[in-house]
């Protein structure tokens, strides 16, 4: 089937967080909404069909993930990433963030430190702080064009400091964002290897959020961190889902892969009060993984063209701004520091002058100030309208 991603779907009055919360959060309703990371596109037809078929059976009682879903995940991870996992390694969660909260809760004590590589997806901070832990930043290095990991600084974080101010590290885990939201990096195998080796040496768990793993918009390959070696596999908990790739976030279904048996048991134990899951979510995840390839192929072509359109437009018509071109995700990270505004001025400018609802860079942690994150998963005509608004506002 040919998908028409140019088609505009009116998402207003559908209880869409992106489109129906903007008055409350941004204070006006004339904005183009390009913030929350879901897509303004329909999901794959096979998913819709599978849900309809399930809906025809009118009993929606408690359910568990079907055996065929486990098989679909196992087959997909082997096919796409060469990762041979066992059925018992899979634990389902009601979304990746839900799983991250559990992971931090299960493996830390209040006061422990958790490393993140900011600027990064801000719910990581909440998952850490809401569990009584401290966020420890290993800031990404940025040369004005590209972000990389700062391995020297990471090594230093693990070392006790005996001179004033004294610091005894209490690091339990590092939450890795791979591909990285918001800067769009798809980490190379070499980068992941260097990171993982430091974590293993320091007995630091790697919590790998790989939810954007299939959304590759550059000429890159995604390496699943756990596939680097058996040791990595034992040191890593991986979170994945179909929710970003196939636009199923509202079905709140995702999974963790936990090869380390001891950690898996701890993780499961910590989730004792969780609901058994969303039956439609299980059905949708399986249909997407089994029958979603044609959709994904077309989607990636469209997203890549959107990235190019967005980047070319800014380079040609608003050259004071700089697009950090994503290799992965459908999010563009834009450097607006040349406008010389502080965080609040930039926020006001985007809302009141450009009339765009975006994610302010500063919410992604230090290093994000002066940046804005644009969600490019929308029909191109909407993207064009947004760019015209931005161009006009910058001119004024």
Ligand X SMILES: Cc1ncc(COP(=O)(O)O)c(C=O)c1O
Residues that bind ligand X (CB under 6 A): 37, 95-97, 121, 177, 181, 209, 211, 241, 243, 249, 254
Residues 6+ away with beta carbon under 8 Å from 227: 81, 82, 83, 233
In terms of Cα–Cα distance, which of 215, 212, 223, 224 is closest to 259?
224
Cβ 38 to ligand X shortest distance, Å: 8
Maximum Cα interatomic distance, the chain, rounded to a whole number of Å? 68
Rounded to 5 degrees, φ, ψ at 73 are -70, -45
Cβ 14 to ligand X shortest distance, Å: 17
Cβ 246 to ligand X shortest distance, Å: 12
- Looking at the Cβ atoms of 351 and 373, the one nearer to ligand X is 373
Write a three-state SS string for 106-170: HHCCCCCEEEECCCCCCHHHHHHHCCCCEEEECCCEECCCCEECCHHHHHHHCCCECCCCCECCC
Cα separation, 180 vs 157, whole angstroms? 21
- Looking at the Cβ atoms of 318 and 377, the one nearer to ligand X is 377
Cβ 359 to ligand X shortest distance, Å: 10
Cβ 219 to ligand X shortest distance, Å: 22
The structure tokens listed for 276 are 């058994």
As a dihedral over the C-alpha atoms of residue 56, residue 59, residue 65, residue 68, rounded to 10 degrees, the angle is -40
Cβ 185 to ligand X shortest distance, Å: 12
- Looking at the Cβ atoms of 117 and 181, the one nearer to ligand X is 181
Cβ 98 to ligand X shortest distance, Å: 6
- Looking at the Cβ atoms of 211 and 257, the one nearer to ligand X is 211
Cα separation, 246 vs 286, whole angstroms? 11
Q: How far is CA 76 from CA 67, 290, 298, in A?
A: 14, 8, 18
- Looking at the Cβ atoms of 46 and 95, the one nearer to ligand X is 95
Long-range contacts for 272-275 (Cβ within 8 Å, ≥24 apart)?
A: 274/93, 274/94, 274/102, 275/94
- Looking at the Cβ atoms of 16 and 313, the one nearer to ligand X is 16
- Looking at the Cβ atoms of 212 and 322, the one nearer to ligand X is 212
Residues 6+ away with beta carbon under 8 Å from 379: 5, 6, 7, 8, 40
- Looking at the Cβ atoms of 35 and 302, the one nearer to ligand X is 35
Cα separation, 221 vs 174, whole angstroms? 22
Cβ 41 to ligand X shortest distance, Å: 15
Q: Interior CA angle at 51 toward 279 and 291, to 5°?
A: 105
- Looking at the Cβ atoms of 18 and 355, the one nearer to ligand X is 18
Give the burial class of 285: count Cβ atoms within 10 A of its Cβ; 0-12 exposed, 13-18 middle, 19 or more buried: buried
In terms of Cα–Cα distance, which of 297, 310, 204 is closest to 245?
297
């Amino acid at each position: 089937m040919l998908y028409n991603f140019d088609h505009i779907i009116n998402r207003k009055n559908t209880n869409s967080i992106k489109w129906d919360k903007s008055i409350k959060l941004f204070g006006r309703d004339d904005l183009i909404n390009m913030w929350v990371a879901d897509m303004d596109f329909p999901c794959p037809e096979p998913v819709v069909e599978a849900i309809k078929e399930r809906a025809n059976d009118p009993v929606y009682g408690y359910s568990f993930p079907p055996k065929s879903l486990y098989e679909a995940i196992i087959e997909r991870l082997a096919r796409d990433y060469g990762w041979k996992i066992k059925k018992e390694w899979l634990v389902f969660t009601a979304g990746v963030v839900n799983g991250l909260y559990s992971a931090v809760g299960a493996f830390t004590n209040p006061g422990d430190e958790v490393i993140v590589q900011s600027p990064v997806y801000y719910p990581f901070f909440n998952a850490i702080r809401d569990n009584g832990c401290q966020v420890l930043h290993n800031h990404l290095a940025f040369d004005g064009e590209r972000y990389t990991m700062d391995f020297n600084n990471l090594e230093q974080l693990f070392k006790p400091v005996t001179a004033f101010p004294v610091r005894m590290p209490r690091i339990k885990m590092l939450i890795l964002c791979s591909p990285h939201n918001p800067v769009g990096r798809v980490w190379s195998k070499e980068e992941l290897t260097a990171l993982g080796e430091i974590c293993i040496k320091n007995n630091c768990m790697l919590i790998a959020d790989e939810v954007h793993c299939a959304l590759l918009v550059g000429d890159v390959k995604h390496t699943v961190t756990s596939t680097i070696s058996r040791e990595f596999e034992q040191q890593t908990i991986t979170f994945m889902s179909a929710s970003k790739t196939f636009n199923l976030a509202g079905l709140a279904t995702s999974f963790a892969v936990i090869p380390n048996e001891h950690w898996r048991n701890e993780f499961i134990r910590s989730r004792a009060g969780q609901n058994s899951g969303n039956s439609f979510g299980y059905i949708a995840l399986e249909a997407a993984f089994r029958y979603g390839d044609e959709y994904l192929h077309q989607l990636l072509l469209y997203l890549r063209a959107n990235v190019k359109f967005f980047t070319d437009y800014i380079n040609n018509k608003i050259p004071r701004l700089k697009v950090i071109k994503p290799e992965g995700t459908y999010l563009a990270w834009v450097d607006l520091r040349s406008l010389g505004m502080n965080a609040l001025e930039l926020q006001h400018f985007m809302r009141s002058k450009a009339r765009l609802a975006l994610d302010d860079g500063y919410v992604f942690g230090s290093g994000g100030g002066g940046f804005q994150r644009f969600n490019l998963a929308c029909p191109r005509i909407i993207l064009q309208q947004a760019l015209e608004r931005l161009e006009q506002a910058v001119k004024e």
